[in-house]
Amino acid sequence: MATARVERRLAAILAADVVGYSRLMERDEPGTFTRLKQLRHELVEPILARHGGRFVDLKGDGAIVEFGSAVEAVEAAVEIQRAMLAQDAELPEDWRIRYRIGINLGDVIADGGTIYGDGVNVAARIESLCEPGGVWLSRSIYNQVRGKLDLAFAPSGLHQVKNISEAVETFRVALDGAGPGPAPPRPGVHAPRVSRWLTPAMGALMVVALLVIGAAIIGWQVWWSSGEMTGASLETRRVAVLPLANLSDEAADEYFSDGMMEELISRLSRISKLSVIARTSVMKYKGTKQDIAEIGRTLQVGTILEGSVRRAGDRVRITAQLIDVASQAHLWSEDYDRTLKDVFAIQSDIAKQVAEALQITLLANEQEKIKQQHTIDPVAHNMSLKGMYFYNQGGVALNESRAYFEQAIERDPGYAMAYARLADLYLKLQWFMPVGEAYAKARAAAEKAVELDDRLAEAHSALATVKVFVDRDWSGAEQEFKKAIALNPSSALAHAEYGHKLLSAVKGRYDDALAELRRAQELDPLAVYISMEIAYVYYHARQWDQAIAQFQRTIELSSKSPFPHLGLGQTYAKLGRFDEAVSELDKALALGGTSNYFKGTRGWGLGLAGRTDEARQVLRELQEAAAQEKVDPVTFAYIYSGLGDHERAILWLRKAYEEGSAETIFLRTPSWDNMRSDPHFIELMHDVGLATD
């Protein structure tokens, strides 16, 4: 018997989801239903008709609409969002209705009036990423509409989404930018009419008729059939743990409150259905009185966990409360008054209560994970908390951090987490001690951490970093990063370090690097180093405009960091904009505390700009400094490269490699493009383990 032929076609798919639908229905179900019905017939359906849209499926808080044209789909989405914005502009905040719209162009399978396939699924995933009131597009839609519409678009990143193997690249429509308002009626189509009795509040609510009427008629069989969470629930399950207030009598106990916050982040990250903001971003709110709603908007979270810690002797009192950002209602709160040895049980209970409050059923392995203790020795744990406190301060405090981690390991030789952190620490200490010694101790600590606990994500991440910087074992490093991410998908650090490794060590995998870094940024949105690494992806890919824009965004995140100014200066130099380049390199040097590395890159910029006398003066200053202190040979290579002396530049890069300088894994950077064809440079690339072009 012949198999029936499957009907396929290319379609533009619009997926929409209501923000706040349940709240509106709970407030006034009959009135909301009636008003939504009228708005659907009088406003939404005429807009879709003008643009050739066809309802495929409806649900109480979502809809799928098919279009034969990408341009028509985007025009319809923009028109609906702008009409909605205009109608509820004067309403109180809690009455305003917003919904997300995602649009994708893809091949679909048609079955009667319903369509299936990745084309639909990708549209649904893009919608879930979109901000309330926004319109996001896939790359395929963007390619079709750019230059054809009077609209502005902005890249919104690469995203790894559920059940889609490849990262999805998205673009945001700037609804407040240039572009037409609602289009005039086409011949034969009547303009929508809204009855005079329809108040602004009623009109605002009724716009979501598109998303609710017909749910009883049409079965929901597309993307929620597998139990996928809606955009609203995704927001709620995106959680920020704010720094815990230190209420102890001793100010020195601040390390303890900071450590409790960090460990709560770690435990909550073990719950697969939660997305937990990393430490770097939440620490920006330490000691501030910023409004919960504002924090939620900045971090794009729907739920916030806050609290306090009071420690006295061997007793500890921890208070915690879980707050819904939208309503600012307390979803759960608890006071714990226990001994220090019960700290781990408190952390586990908080994680469990957060899951229950957010209606998450913990899997058996997740229950086990949130109960896991890295040490049962409270003294060793306390030493580790102090080690992390000084580790996060960086600089000269790293030596104090090392002492505490070593004390923790001395108390508990089986403390895998302390070994993992010690490995990371030694990689940072390479700037303050002999490189060979630092590398050897980093490798030993990382390997010991994995040996003690093969399920510890931090251990595999530390070992991966050792394989990059110490062993130059790119394949082995990638395997370890993948293990770390599999064990803890919410580790912003693992995603960021993996992206960094892909950028520096593997030829041409810019999209993969960007996908990992975008995921890291979702988990740590205010982290300067992640934003800067994204900029360097564009720099390495020679996408100069995108690099400049991203470096500038990074500077907005932190006006005190020298590194984005450094990257911006390097980009300007590659474009021949030498005055701007030197200006940015000057800023980097000023912020970097006269660091020799920043001096070297400034000398490089001066040389490229033809200001050779100034470049040679910087060279003399570095030569004098090298007689008194350690100066990375790469700094000399930079200056000689800028001066066009490729032979000496490569000799200094060779010296850097022989001394184990971490900078030599970045030989793919455009900064060395002027030497790339030199046989000695090609030989060096081979020795470092970087495949040549």
Of the listed ranges 9-23, 524-538, 669-683, the one predicted with least confidence:
9-23
Residue predicted with more confidence, 301 or 435:
301
**pLDDT tier at 595, thresholds 50, 70, 90:** confident
Whose structure tokens read 């709240």?
Answer: 23
The radius of gyration computed from the CA coordinates of the chain, to the nearest angstrom, equals 28
Q: Which two tokens stand for residue 283?
A: 């620490």
Lookup: tokens for 525: 């949105």
Contact (CB, 8 A) for 453 and 416: yes
Cβ contact 635:625 at 8 Å: no
- Using an 8 Å Cβ cutoff, are 159 and 193 in contact? no
Which one, of 57, 64, 55, 52, lies nearest residue 127 by Cα?
64
Contacts of 39 (CB under 8 A, 6+ apart): 194, 198, 203, 205, 206, 207, 208, 209
Class of domain 237-370: alpha beta
Give 168 or 59, the one with higher predicted confidence.
168
How many whole angstroms separate alpha carbon 365 and alpha carbon 368? 5
Nearest residue to 308 via CA among 345, 253, 348: 253
> What is the length of the chain?
693
Residue 448: how many other CB atoms lie within 10 Å: 22
Integer Cα distance of 277 and 521 in angstroms: 9
| Highest mean pLDDT pick, 78-87, 241-250, 448-457, 499-508 | 448-457
| Partners of 310 in the β-ladder | 317
Tens of pLDDT, residue by residue over 214-260, are 333 233 333 333 333 333 333 688 899 999 999 987 777 889 999 99
Q: pLDDT band at 155, cuts 50/70/90?
A: confident
Report in angstroms the alpha-carbon separations of 455 from 262, 267, 375, 416. 19, 14, 15, 10
The Cα 595–Cα 591 span in angstroms is 9
| CB 570, CB 581: distance < 8 Å | yes
What's residue 282's pLDDT?
94
Pairing of strands 152-159, 238-241: unpaired
Calculate the average pLDDT of the chain.
83
pLDDT tens, residue by residue, 97-133:
677 899 999 888 887 667 888 888 899 889 888 888 8
415 pLDDT higher than 70: yes
Distance between CA atoms of residues 460 and 416, nearest Å? 11
- Spans of all domains in the chain: 7-226, 237-370, 562-693
Query: Of all helices (H) and strands (E), which one includes residue 497?
Result: helix 492-505
- The residues, ordered by sequence, that sit 6+ positions from 53 with a Cβ below 8 Å of its Cβ are 14, 47, 65, 66, 67, 72, 73, 76
Each residue's pLDDT tens digit, 8-54: 888 999 998 777 666 666 666 666 666 666 667 777 778 888 888 88
Nearest of 206, 200, 197 to residue 24 by alpha carbon = 206
Where are any strands of DSSP class E within 479-608?
Answer: none
pLDDT tens digits for range 335-386: 999 998 888 899 999 999 999 998 888 888 888 888 888 888 989 999 999 9
Q: What is the pLDDT of residue 95?
A: 62
DSSP state of 53: -
* The predicted structure's pLDDT at residue 425: 92
Give the torsion sign (CA, 671, 673, 677, 682): positive
Residue 175 has pLDDT above 90, yes or no: no
Contact 168, 519 (CB under 8 A): no
Nearest to 47 by CA among 68, 78, 23: 78
What is the structure's pLDDT at 509? 83
Q: Which residues of 331-354 are buried (b: 16+ CB within 10 A; e: fewer)?
A: beeeebeeebebbbebbbbbbbbb
Residue 194 has pLDDT above 70, yes or no: no
Distance CA 291, CA 287 (A): 12
> Average pLDDT, stretch 273-277?
90
Strand-pair partners of 153: 173
The CATH number of the structural domain formed by 7-226 is 3.30.70.1230
Q: What is the DSSP string of 132-172?
A: TT-EEEEHHHHHHHTTTSS-EEEEEEEE--TT-SSPEEEEE
Residue 183: the pLDDT is: 36
Contact between 164 and 177 (Cβ < 8 Å): no
Q: What is the mean pLDDT of residues 163-190?
A: 58
Sign of the torsion angle spanned by Cα atoms 181, 183, 185, 189: negative
Cβ–Cβ < 8 Å for 266, 274: no
In the structure encoding, which two tokens stand for residue 78, read together? 């923009």
DSSP element (H, E) containing 14 = strand 7-19
d(CA 325, CA 293): 6
Alpha carbons within 13 angstroms on the beta-carbon side of residue 28 total 10
- Cβ partners under 8 Å of residue 130, min gap 6: 100, 101, 102, 136, 172, 231
Given this model, what pLDDT does residue 82 score?
A: 87
The band of 622, judged by pLDDT with boundaries at 50, 70 and 90, is very high
Residue 64 near residue 120 (C-beta atoms within 8 A): yes
CATH code for the part of the protein at 562-693:
1.25.40
Q: Is 159 left (phi over 0), alpha (psi -120 to 50) or beta?
A: beta
pLDDT of residue 265: 93
Residue 6: per-residue pLDDT? 65
The predicted pLDDT at position 112 comes to: 67
Please name the residue that has the structure tokens 């992390």. 388
Which pLDDT belongs to residue 312? Answer: 86
Over range 205-211, report the average pLDDT: 40
